[in-house]
Amino acid sequence: MGLTLTAEERAVADGMFGAGAAMAMRIVAESARLLGAPRLIPIASAHIDGALYHGDSGTLFAEKLVEGGARVAVRSTLNVGALDLMGCSRVRLEEPARGMARRMTEAYRRLGCEQSWTCAPYQAGHRPDFGTDVAWGESNAVVFCNSVLGARTNRYGDFLDIASAITGRAPDYGLHRPENRRATLVFDVSALPTTFLASEIAWPVLGSLYGREVGNAVGVVVGVDTHPGEDALKAFGAAAASSGAVGLFHIAGVTPEATTLAAALGGREPEAVIRVTKEMAAKARASLSTAAASDRLDAVAIGSPHLSLAEFDALERLVAGRRLAVPIYACTGRHALAELDRAGRRRALETSGITIVADTCVVVTPILPERLGAVLMTNSGKFAHYAPGNTGYAVLYGSLRDCVESAASGRPVFTDLA
């Protein structure tokens, strides 16, 4: 069965509502045809990953949409960009790339997108209702939206994300369809110590292992007795989407489409059961570090996905007013930064030696100093996955406490052995 467009959709594609909207509709429709979708469906919102500057083509594309009179038809937040527009940190992006990145931000503003600039829009007030169809980009945002909020989205890539936002339409395929959202395998963590599962360090580790084990399949985690908290689910999903191609996970008794194991499986038997052992978890934890054992530490980076206010609370308690020997780069969104400023907390953090990075992140744009053989410590499974290739820094993975104690002492310290 081929793609069928409504009369209104055909009119948009034919240019009745302007050249920009026509280009966007043709992109969405052609994508739907390639994916085998029978129709387009209306969406309630979008989260745009394509506003991160990777090259001039992205800027020119956005400006072409603006020139054609396009505007987003639904609420559309923006993922991180290439610039710290709040002026918290120094981005080393040079001209002409810097100017093109600024032109890109202006184009997306003129398209009507919210200037959110965060990879955690769900913690900045953009939380679509359960069961609604949306078109979100950025892997961690997608997996959180599907898994924790129970909204429905595929992983929308650059250009298709903004095209869907302009048309208010998305291809009807993949995770938009209820039959594709049921779990087909079980990821059993019941053999792991409860102390480990209750620790902050567990969730990036388990997410990294989950992603490698399941790939792009939909699985359900069993053996979690209590809700681990939103930041833990954020960390799990981000790591799973980085090490695999996870767009949706369930946790029995925790996430909204998995009130029970049977509900997550849709009443069917699983195709596979992965029983996680302590040895598997230990190996997954070790794999997040790429640096050789040494006393060298050049930087600490946290906030991938962007730090929540609760995570800043924990950071402040651990720093306890000390002056750090190694800088901590704390990446966050302007929504959190505004709250820190309102409460007068930002200055104390910066006085301690914490560089707050807003609107962007240290693995997508050059912020970290260029140093041969440099070593970075992080508590983020996503940072651990991308930092070696994107920054040139070798990585040490540890808990937030490890990160703070290491920054305070100036060398790697591992205190959290959960």
* Pair 362, 329: CB distance under 8 Å: yes
pLDDT band of 417, cuts 50, 70, 90: low
* Average pLDDT of span 341-347: 95
Contacts of 366 (CB under 8 A, 6+ apart): 91, 92, 93
Whether 7-177 and 299-409 share one fold: the answer is yes
List the chain domain ranges.
7-177, 182-287, 299-409
- Cα–Cα dist 359/267, whole Å: 43
Of 47-56, 186-195, 325-334, 409-418, which gets the smallest average pLDDT? 409-418
Q: Residue 321 CB: number of other CB atoms within 10 A?
A: 8
- Cα–Cα dist 324/352, whole Å: 6
How far does the chain reach from its first CA to its final CA, in angstroms?
53
The first and second tokens of residue 73, run together, are: 């038809």
pTM for this model (two decimals): 0.96
* Site of tokens 């040895």: 279
The first and second tokens of residue 398, run together, are: 């540890």
Taking alpha carbons only, the member of 140, 106, 103, 94 closest to residue 121 is: 140
CA distances from 366 to 62, 94, 100, 222 (A): 23, 10, 15, 40
For residue 385, list its beta bridge partners: none
Q: What pLDDT is recorded for position 292?
A: 85
Q: Say whether pLDDT at 310 is over 70.
A: yes
Query: Percent of the chain scored above 70 by pLDDT?
Result: 99
Q: Say whether pLDDT at 418 is over 70.
A: no
Q: Say whether pLDDT at 8 is over 70.
A: yes
The first and second tokens of residue 365, run together, are: 């744009």
Contacts of 41 (CB under 8 A, 6+ apart): 133, 169, 170, 171, 172, 176
CA geometry: angle at 15 spanning 10 and 18, to 5°? 130
Q: Say whether pLDDT at 1 is over 90.
A: no
| pLDDT tens-place string over residues 24-80 | 999 999 999 999 999 999 999 999 999 999 999 999 999 999 999 999 999 999 999
pLDDT band of 407, cuts 50, 70, 90: very high
| pLDDT tens-place string over residues 209-259 | 999 999 999 999 999 999 999 999 999 999 999 999 999 999 999 999 999
* Average pLDDT of span 173-202: 97
Q: What pLDDT is recorded for position 415?
A: 85
- What are the φ/ψ torsions at residue 175 (nearest 5 degrees)? -75, 0
* Pair 150, 130: CB distance under 8 Å: yes
- Cα–Cα dist 106/1, whole Å: 41
The first and second tokens of residue 295, run together, are: 């006393």
- Cα–Cα dist 43/300, whole Å: 39
Q: May I ask the CATH class of domain 7-177?
A: alpha beta
* Average pLDDT of span 291-295: 87
What is the SS3 assignment for the chain? CCCCCCHHHHHHHCCCCCHHHHHHHHHHHHHHHHHCCCCEEECCEEEECCCCCCCHHHHHHHHHHHHCCCCCCCEEEECCCCCCCCCCCCCCCCCCHHHHHHHHHHHHHHCCCECCCCCCHHHCCCCCCCCCECEECCHHHHHHHHHHHCCECCCCCCCHHHHHHHHCEEECCHHHCHHHCCCCEEEECCCCCHHHHCCCCHHHHHHHHHHHHHCCCCEEEECCCCCCCHHHHHHHHHHHHHHCCCCCEEECCCCCCCCCHHHHHCCCCCCEEEECCHHHHHHHHHHCCCCCCCCCCCEEEEEEEEECHHHHHHHHHHHCCCCCCCCEEEEECHHHHHHHHHCCCHHHHHHHCEEEEECCCCCCCCCCCCCCCCEEEECCHHHHHHHHHHHCCEEEECCHHHHHHHHHHCCCCCCCCC
| pLDDT tens-place string over residues 14-33 | 999 999 999 999 999 999 99
Q: Say whether pLDDT at 294 is over 90.
A: no
Q: 299-409 is classed in which CATH architecture?
A: 2-Layer Sandwich (3.30)
- What are the φ/ψ torsions at residue 178 (nearest 5 degrees)? -55, -35
- Cα–Cα dist 133/112, whole Å: 20
* Site of tokens 């003129």: 110
Q: Say whether pLDDT at 293 is over 90.
A: no
Taking alpha carbons only, the member of 154, 161, 184, 149 closest to residue 113 is: 161
